[in-house]
A and B are shown apart, each in its own frame.
Chain A
Amino acid sequence: MNTVSQEKIKSTFLKKLLKELIKRGAPNSTIKQTLDEAAGSLTDYISEMDLKNLESLEQNFGTPQQFCNEQMIEFNRDGYLAQLFYNVIFSLSFLTIFGFGFSFLTFWEFIYGHALSIPSAEALMQISSGINGLLGTLFCLNVLVWILNRYFSKSLSTYDLRNRIQNKATLGIYWYLVLICVSMFSYLYSKVGFLLPFVWKQNMKFLVIEGLLRWLLLLFYLSTTAILYTIKYVKNNSAKLRKENRTYLIDSLEGLVFVFVLISFVVPQPGIGLLVILLGISTILTNNVTVKTWLLGVTSICVQFGVLFRNLIFFSFDFLGVDRTSIIFGVKFTLKGNEEKEWYAIIVCIILILLWTISCILIFKRENKKYRLKFGFRKVGKQYISVILIFLVGVSLLGSQPQETTLKIDFMPEYDQINDLYKINERVWIPRKGKIYVSFYDYVSFTLWDYDSNGSVVNITNIVVNGSWQVTWQNQGESFKSFFKQGFFSSLAAPTVFVVEREEYNVTQALWYFVIEAKSSGILEYHSTILEYLSTVLREEISIIIPSMSYRWVAQISWFPFYLEPIVVGFILSFLLIDFDTKNQIKSRQRSKGRES
């Protein structure tokens, strides 16, 4: 009998056996053991007995029901309900990720379409940092798929139909995320692509570079994981290789954490901290802990702490007078006044490191493992991993610089009855020094027809906002204004005027970019006078991009890394040189040395 039909008989029997085991409410550990043993027995039995079909197999080998009886697996109602619940959770966990990605694609235009129709530094900044955490979300979904796949692969037998389904779903989701990333990237850049050359010429190159690096690095990461998983999937589907129970690069926690830690520099979103915790829990649940895993966990927590701490320092200057909110390892903190938020981060970080260490020690004790530190290069076969990692370290380091942040301020003009005009007078204290990038624009929204203040119909195609604007900068401690720029709304000329056609309204907007050299913290002032104001909406927005670190640490060279990056990157690189031996490995090496001598 050929191998193909043997495999078919075997797989049909195993499917029936799985159904019977679930019906009997057996726990997953029993199902896994029973299926693995049955598969091994069937391989030996079928090849030895030369059986032609399933009926003759069941007649001699025994039916799945008989097989369960022989293994003393009894019917258990509670177990059956637990199995049903497990299968529902199993299906939902993958469907949710699919659904989440789908909702992104469907509602993208609806939610963000309008925001992107305003071609400003704000829109560009949104794309650079990944609109409302899109980059972080895609990365998180990718890691969640990895965690789920790892958990289900560990708890289900390779002969379990559910395991095959989850492998197919994982493959689909990996490529699905790549597809979303490519679509979003193309969509966003096609929307603001025309703005890129203009912004580039305005000494705001970093916005373009930083944004592109973030997207490309994420795309690289998503594609790499998808390709690595596809390799594993294809090889695992080959019956010959399945027996070997090989481990693949995608299974390497080490590799994932390296990329994970590095990306958290590039995408320092609050959700990343939560993922560090999820990754740790999943590692503990799957019991795949070594000393290296423990060190990687501590590194991840410390890096998250570092990124958070840096953000906390920046936001500790409450210059907008709002409650300061931040998310520390998934826990949201809203603090007022002079509360020391940094202490919350430190306490949470110490507790996490302690919990992680205790869990790892407990697992070591249970598995009776002892480790010894060993210095030296990895095996030659694994050198290509090192090359990939070093490349990632370099790219991520670039991607994480410079540390800029944006501040958006909306103004609604106030009516001055005495002079019959609309005014805006705003003062913003900015506690930073270095290059401050300011872009501002007025935003006029109107329907197809409108009336002016005299009640006459306005021709919307020739609308002109009459008035003037003025932007000044004054360094703290100086009596004079070091920066002064003014202009008229009516003097706008292409290419700074954009008209974007929308279904319900039109938007006209003007753009100005300034680069202010701030020697210290200071005050940015904006004054505008609008002589003619329509009954419809007129809003003015200033988008200020300031160097977030410059208050305490002035970045003399904008692309030079700060203190945190070299430490972490150095630590990560040291992992390439360090290895750990278990007690058994030490013994076997000593034995082989003895034989050689």
Chain B
Amino acid sequence: MNVDEQENPLLKAWKVQLSRGLLEFLVLVLLENKRHGYDILQTIRSLFPRSEPPLSDGTIYNILTRLKSKDLVSMETVLFEGRMRRYYCLTKKGKQLQQEMIDEWTNLNSSVIKALEMYSLI
């Protein structure tokens, strides 16, 4: 068994953790404008085209439900072409959390880039 095959499951798990860990942050960012569930789902899929395992619809809807239950997101139902369409937008509490997450992400990102630059890895 070569090193790549040994490391592959670890890399896979790390990638899953990284992408899934960022999902809530991304949803909050995308909700800067009012959006409906399917729209958010499509946008995230376009941002992570090679997501492994593939992103199921349930994951995003579950994140929206969790944010809703914590009063971070509000929802309004609109009848669109004979079907119910739910639009989501940030609440004041959600907006606050979004800003805190952006600040955290900016700091983290600059620290990672700094570390990589230190050893000329990028």
Chain A interfacial positions (CB closer than 8 Å to B): 36-38, 40-42, 44-45, 47-50, 60-62, 66-67, 69-72
Q: Which 5 A-B pairs have the closest CB atoms?
A: A62-B56, A40-B65, A41-B61, A62-B58, A61-B58
The range of chain B's interface size is 20 to 34
B66 surroundings in chain A (CB, below 8 A): 37
Q: Name the contact of B86 in the complex, choosing from A48, A60, A66, A70 (C-beta under 8 A).
A: A48
Asked if A48 and B68 sit within 8 Å, CB to CB, the answer is no
A72 and B86: CB pair below 8 A?
no
Interface SS majority for chain B? helix
B85 and A44: CB pair below 8 A? no
Instruction: Report the bound CA distance from A67 to B85 in whole Å.
Output: 23
A48 touches B20 (CB 8 A): no
Q: Is the interface of A mostly helix, strand, loop or mixed?
A: helix
Docked complex Cα distance between A72 and B53 (Å): 12
A70 touches B58 (CB 8 A): yes
Assess whether A38 is in contact with B62, with CB atoms less than 8 Å apart: yes
Cβ–Cβ contact B65 & A70, under 8 A? no
Given contacts A45-B57, A70-B56, A70-B62, are A50 and B69 in contact (CB under 8 A)? no
In contact, A45 and B37 (Cβ under 8 angstroms): yes
Q: Is the CB of A41 within 8 A of B84?
A: no
B contact residues around A36 at 8 Å (CB): 69
The smallest beta-carbon distance between A486 and chain B, in angstroms, is 83
B26 to chain A, nearest CB (A): 15
Is B64 at the interface (CB under 8 A from chain A)? yes
B58 / chain A contacts, CB cutoff of 8 Å: 38, 41, 45, 61-62, 66-67, 70
B:49-67 near A, CB below 8 Å:
53, 56-59, 61-62, 64-66
For the complex, give the distance between the alpha carbons of A48 and B84 in Å.
5
Q: List 23 A-B contacts (CB under 8 A).
A: A36-B69, A37-B65, A38-B58, A40-B68, A40-B69, A41-B58, A41-B61, A41-B62, A42-B61, A44-B65, A45-B37, A45-B58, A47-B83, A48-B37, A48-B86, A61-B57, A61-B58, A66-B58, A67-B56, A67-B58, A67-B62, A70-B59, A70-B62
In the complex, residue of chain B having the shortest beta-carbon distance to the beta carbon of A61: B58
Q: A397: shortest Cβ distance to chain B, in Å?
A: 47
Query: Contacts A44-B61, A48-B83; is A66 near B56 (CB within 8 Å)?
Result: yes
* Nearest-CB residue, chain A, relative to B56: A62
B60 to chain A, nearest CB (A): 9
Which chain B residue lies CB-closest to A70?
B59
Choose among B36, B65, B66 the residue with the greatest number of A CB atoms under 10 Å from its CB: B65
- Residues of B near A48 (CB, < 8 A) are 36-38, 83-86
Question: 20 more A-B contacts (CB under 8 A) besides A41-B58, A70-B59?
Answer: A37-B65, A37-B69, A38-B58, A41-B61, A41-B64, A42-B61, A44-B61, A44-B65, A44-B86, A48-B36, A48-B83, A61-B56, A61-B58, A66-B53, A67-B59, A67-B62, A70-B20, A70-B56, A70-B62, A72-B17
Produce 1/0 per residue, B72-114, CB < 8 A to A.
0001000000011110000000000000000000000000000
Closest residue to B75 on the A side, CB-wise?
A44
For B56, the chain A residues whose CB sits under 8 A away are 60-62, 66-67, 70
Q: Once bound together, how far apart are the Cα atoms of A70 and B58, in whole Å?
A: 9
Complex Cα distance, B56 from A492, in Å, reads 91
Decide: A44 near B59, CB < 8 A? Known: A66-B53, A72-B20.
no
CA distance A136 to B36 in the complex (A): 58
Nearest chain B CB to A141 CB, angstrom units: 37
Closest chain-A Cβ to B53's Cβ sits at a distance in Å of 7
In the bound complex, CA of A40 to CA of B84 (Å): 15
Task: Give the distance in Å from the alpha carbon of A42 to the alpha carbon of B86 in the complex.
Answer: 13
When distances are taken between beta carbons in the complex, the residues of chain A under 8 Å from B36 are: 48
Distance of B65 from chain A, by nearest CB (Å): 4
Bound CA–CA A45/B38 (angstroms): 9
